[in-house]
């Protein structure tokens, strides 16, 4: 199995590189949007010789809550599918600070035993009559850098949207409205449909409020009628462990992580939040891999290496 990881980050070079190295170490590929100009140049140099880490260039900037993230993710899928010599079985999007919380071996074993498309739909416009009016408004400040976390900017964004709506300036979209988690684990055929119709995002969700929480599920419903998915997030995100509407991953505590053993991915993890937990998660994905054993063999004496292998066997 080969996985295409779709990553974005506005952090610095030293936050991005270890994550890309970790994800690409066992043959998977990483497609990363780097919003910081300096960091993007540094990351590009760091992976200049890599065939498995791809720096997104068609759309370089992205942030949560803005169409740039949703559209950029769709373009990353298209870039992955256009690689001539690689076939990806799954496509997994990771927000800033989100990491695998299980080893790659455990994740692959789970997906092989339980194949399908994983994403979470929370509600539809039938269940929430306010969903459609909200989705049709233009939120003019969503592309501001301060938008995701500045309460004053977010308040003004809503005020402007309400005013434009009052005078009749609103988008046209007759498609069925649904909303849920922005994170997915998609099979190749489903991801291919999204890539084929990626322009839908720009056509229907310009200046929208957190389009990533609606557009992927709506596209699958529209362009794959009758398609069934597994309505599970498989992510644990802090501080409550579950997706919270209009909010990206926030700091994840160890006790919340331990309370969600079903999760495959989680966040947010950074060394300036919980350095010990962050390093633990970075190491976990490649635990027991051939690469890890080769590295250990170089570092340890023969006796110490044999003890390390025995320990791995006991854990399994």
Mean pLDDT computed over 164-185: 96
Provide the pLDDT for residue 59.
83
pLDDT 10s digits, 51-109: 999 999 888 888 999 999 999 999 999 999 999 999 999 999 999 999 999 999 999 99
pLDDT band at 297 (very low <50, low <70, confident <90, very high): very low
155, exposed or middle or buried, with CB in 10 Å at 0-12, 13-18, 19+? exposed
Residue the block writes with tokens 């459609």: 132
DSSP conformation class of 59: S
Q: Between helices 67-81 and 188-196, what is the axis angle to 10°?
A: 120
pLDDT 10s digits, 17-57: 999 999 999 999 999 999 999 999 999 999 999 999 999 98
pLDDT 10s digits, 179-198: 999 999 999 999 999 999 99
Note whether 178 and 123 are within 8 A (CB): yes
- 237 three-state secondary structure: strand
pLDDT 10s digits, 4-18: 999 999 899 999 999
pLDDT 10s digits, 127-163: 999 999 999 999 999 988 899 989 999 999 999 999 9
Instruction: List CB contacts of 143: < 8 A, sequence separation 6 or more.
Output: 66, 67, 68, 207
Note whether 296 and 308 are within 8 A (CB): yes
Q: Which fold has domain 3-125+176-285?
A: Spore Coat Polysaccharide Biosynthesis Protein SpsA; Chain A (3.90.550)
Residue the block writes with tokens 């929208």: 208
Does the pLDDT at position 310 exceed 60? no
pTM: 0.89
Q: Where are the domains of the chain?
A: 3-125+176-285, 290-316
218, exposed or middle or buried, with CB in 10 Å at 0-12, 13-18, 19+? buried
State in Å, rounded, how far the first CA of the chain is from the last one.
20
């Amino acid at each position: 199995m080969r996985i295409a990881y779709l990553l974005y980050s506005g952090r610095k070079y030293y936050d991005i590189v270890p994550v890309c190295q970790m994800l690409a170490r066992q043959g998977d590929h990483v497609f990363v949007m780097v919003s910081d100009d300096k960091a993007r140049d540094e990351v590009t140099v760091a992976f200049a010789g890599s065939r498995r880490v791809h720096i997104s260039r068609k759309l370089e900037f992205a942030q949560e809550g803005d169409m740039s993230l949703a559209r950029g993710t769709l373009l990353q899928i298209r870039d992955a599918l256009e690689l001539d010599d690689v076939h990806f079985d799954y496509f997994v999007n990771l927000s800033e600070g989100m990491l695998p919380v299980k080893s790659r071996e455990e994740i692959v074993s789970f997906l092989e035993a339980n194949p399908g498309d994983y994403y979470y739909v929370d509600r539809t416009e039938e269940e929430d009559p306010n969903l459609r009016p909200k989705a049709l408004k233009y939120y003019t400040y969503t592309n501001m850098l301060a938008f995701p976390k500045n309460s004053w900017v977010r308040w003004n964004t809503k005020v402007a949207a309400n005013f434009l709506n009052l005078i009749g300036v609103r988008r046209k979209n007759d498609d069925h409205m649904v909303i849920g988690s922005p994170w997915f684990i998609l099979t190749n055929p489903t991801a291919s449909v999204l890539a084929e119709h990626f322009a839908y995002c720009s056509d229907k969700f310009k200046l929208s409020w957190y389009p990533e929480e609606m557009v992927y599920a709506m596209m699958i419903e529209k362009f794959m009628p009758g398609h069934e998915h597994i309505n599970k997030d498989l992510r644990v995100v802090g501080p409550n462990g579950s997706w919270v509407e209009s909010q990206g991953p926030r700091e994840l505590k160890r006790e919340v992580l331990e309370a969600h053993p079903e999760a495959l991915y989680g966040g947010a993890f950074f060394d300036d939040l919980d350095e010990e937990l962050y390093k633990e998660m970075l190491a976990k994905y490649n635990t027991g891999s051939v690469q890890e054993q080769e590295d250990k063999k170089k570092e340890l004496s023969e006796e110490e290496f044999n003890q390390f292998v025995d320990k791995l066997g006991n854990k399994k």
